[in-house]
Structure 1
């Protein structure tokens, strides 16, 4: 034995403890050769766990003894040669095999490769060849184990990124996907890996743009964005919004992409943007409606005064009556604008929405017999506090919208439901979580496309032909504003050719629903003799209102601003029985003026007046003790009754 093998052997023995000596199984049908090999291996410091003389025995011993390496003779008698035995040991037990053979030709090597051997030893072999073959095999086994562990760790990270993660080949094929990708796409791993391309999931409008990025990224990683948003179509045809992060795997043309479903986030962003847009348009619409109501007030007041002194048979009486009707129509139009602008609840009343829907839908059903109405009511429905007239108007707008979507007739489904909404659900609407009553209005009409849905609540937007009998485009805009002002929300779900559902959610009130009786409007005006201070910055309103008040028998003092009003009141407080106060004035507005007047006289009686409906500001003033509110334009009867209601308290 040469000195070199002995030196190598001693170094290896020193590097391994006895308990860690590699265990080797010898497989050879020639007993003498196997025994000699065993002795040589033991001398070199290895542990020989056994000798097998057939392929079948080798498999059994490998299972029971779990060697670190099998030295396998290729050619053995019997039903199973060394190659077949090696395949099973390698495949089932993952134990490395080094082949032994007296001769090896190309044909045998080709066949032996199928067993994935770790090496070959050609008989006869010397000690250094044995040592080298064994150590190389054990080293490869150790490297393979480390590689498998590394791959397992990588696979674990890959599977648990929290996002759908894919590896994309240069040709676009998906070579590796994780479970989140299966969930996102609707396809199994077996259907995806190596069989589908990323372009299979992209809508028709996106592939060319994304393909360009795919190619550029492989030419120069910095030439294409690493983050982008795209649309993806899943197995069921559902389009999802996706946020993607893509990087090239170093040293390859492959890329790894992390995909997150941001469909819900995009929906919330869209709802928020829409709400902000509606808020801005609403502010503009409210301002226009306020100014228009002031103009109508001037017309209404002068017409009312003219009619007071005119006999019904006068040739101008009918014309003036017509003007008054036109003023009312204009007021209804501005009322819808103010509703959209969230001008405020007129009068909140504890309400059972089941009863309100039953009443409004029955009335609608009598006029639209081609519509089949189905109602489903929540038992023990929670109470809401709403302006019944406005909610009824909102419902009628939705009924009419449904009818127009079903020109040949159809079905209208109305449903109420008690719901509890969490913070995430109401966040886009800037509302509080909690209990709400939900109203659903569903039709079986033509449905809407996305462009229509995006604009459906915009004022003056209509899909109908413009014209006097075709609608103003304010119905749904008004509905949106009314519900928003009631601290609720309205949303829409629609599909072309299927139909549309409007959902309304209104917050629950702890108030008790009382029996409501119809109040017959008194078509007469009430007179008085008190002194009234009239405060308004519009000279036209001052002039006409002063004449109306004088006609009703009152003494009238006037002021064109908040500062002037307080000055006049200080001088005449003992004479003034009541103040009619405009809410919107420059510099010192109605709220500030009221507070100053209240300091002068805590018992002062004040009637607020505005071209707006009751907004948050007016409600706050009323809550501070103000006695009432009247919206412009008002007629002489309405004003006279409101004055006596306050003065006669």
Structure 2
């Protein structure tokens, strides 16, 4: 404004040399110009103040955000580390120090993450890192592996890994699952022992039933007393019930014993039905590359579906498997063109007390599937064929199998 004042004085001096009429016009113009300049100056000063206020707010917000994420990083409850593109560890938290036995000062910008991996897993985890940096979206974000601690011991851990957008830097959360693995092994050992005990018990009971039936037959041959014969026949039926329970125990004891695994549905169906005579019956398997996370006994489910269709479907000529989208995931469909399931039996075919011919196939199928949250229902039209829908929820199915050593369902 000082420059403007000097200019204004010089203009006024020059105005004294101009006729009154022209001088008056010029004076009015200068006044309007001066008002506009003052307004511009005011707006400029206000913009400067507003910009300073915005910068102050942004700095405050940025600091608060940084502090918030630092708190999450430090108190997440698991070991965490930030790893640079070349594998160098640039940041760790207190839980990392406790798990690995090294201080921050010994690790940050001094050690590379592969140094902490057991040789049995190092190659494939480093491979994951390379693929992740190359933009490969099939690399799993979660996997299990072994690490080496400061004292040279190994521990089972699970990794959860994410990539910072637009960078080659990753952040990983490392959960110690050593105790869980020990517990799983203990449970597996106990289950094996229980299975052996069940087998011995079943065998002993079965051995006692054989002479029991023999004694009943002999007693029936030597008496014509109707009351006694009726009692003997009741005892025989009780023995048959006991034998049925033994058969059920034999089938049921393996359900849930082994951990669920990813299984390619098409392969499971083909293996399950390979030993079933399909005389004159066509079979179509159209499930693509679908895989589901299920109990290893999944094969029995498809065996039971096909075996039941042949046994109870009447004059069926076709059995087909396909996949459809479901609001909660996908549905594996098994249809046939047989007699179908009577309406009054639809709600009971999956119950333990409902069975025909050989026993508990559909009940066991439901139990096998339910281990990983998979359901099954029958929706066919009686007289037009059966339609079984295996309902696989999200997280329990995938289309392709990533190249991983270990992967569990979410």
Task: Please report the TM-score for the alignment, with normalisation by the length of structure 2.
Answer: 0.42
* CA radius of gyration, larger in: 1
Greater RCO, 1 or 2 (C-alpha within 8 Å, sep 6+): 2
